[in-house]
Amino acid sequence: MRVSDFDYQLPQELIAQQPLPGRDQSRLLVLDRKQPELVHTQFSQLPRFLAQGDLLVINDTRVLPARLAGRKATGGQVEILILTPEDDRRWNCLAKPARRLKPGTELSFGKDLTAAVLSVGEQGLCQLEFPRQGKEFLHAIEQLGEMPLPPYIRETLADAERYQTVYSSQPGAVAAPTAGLHFTPSLLEHVQSRGVEVARVTLHIGLDTFRPVAVENVKEHKMHSEFYQLSDQTARAINAARERGGRVVAVGTTVVRVLETLTGQDGVIAAGSGWTEIFIYPGYRFKAVDGLITNFHLPRSTLLMLVSAFAGREKILEAYKEAAELKYRFYSFGDAMLII
């Protein structure tokens, strides 16, 4: 299986640069895997496609304002993107330009935050040690950092909260779980009023969101680890939904990765936390997920491979082609798809 099997052409003007004024005003393409026709509607109509007894699983990660403008003692400027923690003080980061850094370099990000370079690796990866930790560290980057918008978004975001879900609560991601950006508090209430339960997991989205697939053979690609948490309460809710015959609908590919990591071959899920490197592409046998809400993903990406595994590569590419013809908005601030 080749990465080029997951390529498609997209006009640049269909890459959404700003969110719509209303979160739930995005368009929604519904792909029913048992039906030949696609349904085109609005995201606010999502409750119509859910049934009493279903369970909606959301990712409550919160994006860190992880892009920091640093300065060396010599005056040289370096941009740092904070990725994942090694411990309370050491963080894996991306540096630009990395060639300006070497172990022992001291960086300043304003009067309230400094860091020391511990190591420099390939492709801009480096490890920094910050003297601040915990809530002090988070407070400092909230004051100094910028939201790490994807490189295909070239316009400035007026309201940083529009790159957070309305239910985000656990800081630690460097990119938003974009399928959840379409929800409003009232829409969630409407979903629950139809007898659909809502449960939470956490997966802090990391490096792979920014890293292209560099190999041609899909099986040779290695995913980076991302931290997840799933509570006893959520595990019980998922298992109960299964027992009553309800569908487990994942809001985003990040939720899929958590659920598929923790679900056994018998379909029973257990609570847990840790780091997952699960890579889902066509041929994968799903154990936990019956439905998926997702955005439209980049060509040749691991996310496109995951949705192709869930719905079938040809169906997904045909749906993407129809969405492009109908001028859907693509990627992070774009429209959504429901696969059932």
pLDDT values of the chain reduced to their tens digit, one per residue, 340 residues: 999 999 999 999 999 999 999 999 999 999 999 999 999 999 999 999 999 999 999 999 999 999 999 999 888 999 999 998 888 899 999 999 988 799 999 999 988 899 999 999 988 899 999 998 888 998 999 999 999 999 899 999 999 999 999 999 999 999 999 999 999 999 999 999 999 999 999 999 987 765 668 889 998 998 888 999 999 999 999 999 999 999 999 999 999 999 999 999 999 999 999 999 999 999 999 999 999 999 999 999 999 999 999 999 999 999 999 999 999 999 999 999 999 9
Residue 155: both structure tokens together:
């316009």
Indicate if 9 and 109 belong to the same structural domain. no
pLDDT reported for residue 211: 66
Buried b (16+ CB within 10 A) or exposed e, 273-294: eeebebbbbbeeeeebbbbbbb
Q: Residues 36, 8: one domain? A: yes
What pLDDT does 214 receive? Answer: 84
The neighbour count for residue 40, using CB atoms within 10 Å, is 14
Within 8 A by CB and 6+ apart from 242, the residues are 248, 267, 268
Please tell me whether residues 166 and 246 are part of one structural domain.
Answer: yes
pLDDT attached to residue 209:
65
Which pLDDT belongs to residue 191?
Answer: 98
The reply to whether 154 falls in a domain is no
Distance CA 90, CA 103 (A): 13
Boundary residue ending a domain (144, 171, 191) = 144
* Predicted pLDDT at 22: 97
CA distance 23 to 43: 9
On whether residue 39 sits in a domain, the answer given is yes
What value does the CA radius of gyration of the chain take, rounded to a whole number of Å? 20
Among the listed residues 156, 167, 139, the one whose alpha carbon sits nearest the alpha carbon of residue 65: 139
Residue 124 falls in which region: left (phi positive, over 0), alpha (psi -120 to 50) or beta = left
- CATH assignment of the domain containing 18: 3.40.1780.10
Say whether both 213 and 278 belong to one domain: yes
Residues 111 and 31 in one domain: no
What pLDDT score does 299 carry? 94
In a domain, 328, yes or no: yes
Q: What is the domain extent for residue 82?
A: 67-144
Residue 64 to residue 79: CA distance in whole angstroms: 15
As a whole number of angstroms, the distance between CA 189 and CA 239 comes to: 22
Q: Kindly state whether residues 114 and 240 are assigned to the same domain.
A: no
Give a yes or no: residue 227 inside a domain.
yes
Q: How many Å apart are CA 257 and CA 210, to the nearest integer? A: 17
Side-chain-side CA neighbours of 114 within 13 Å: the count stands at 9
Query: Count of domains in the chain?
Result: 2
Instruction: State the pairing for strand pair 90-96/67-72.
Output: unpaired
Strands, sheet with 291-295, edge to edge from the N-terminal-most edge strand: 39-42, 27-31, 336-339, 291-295, 248-251, 55-59, 197-203, 226-230, 272-276
pTM of the model: 0.93
Is the residue at 48 inside a domain? yes
CA distance 15 to 6: 18
Domain for residue 150, yes or no? no
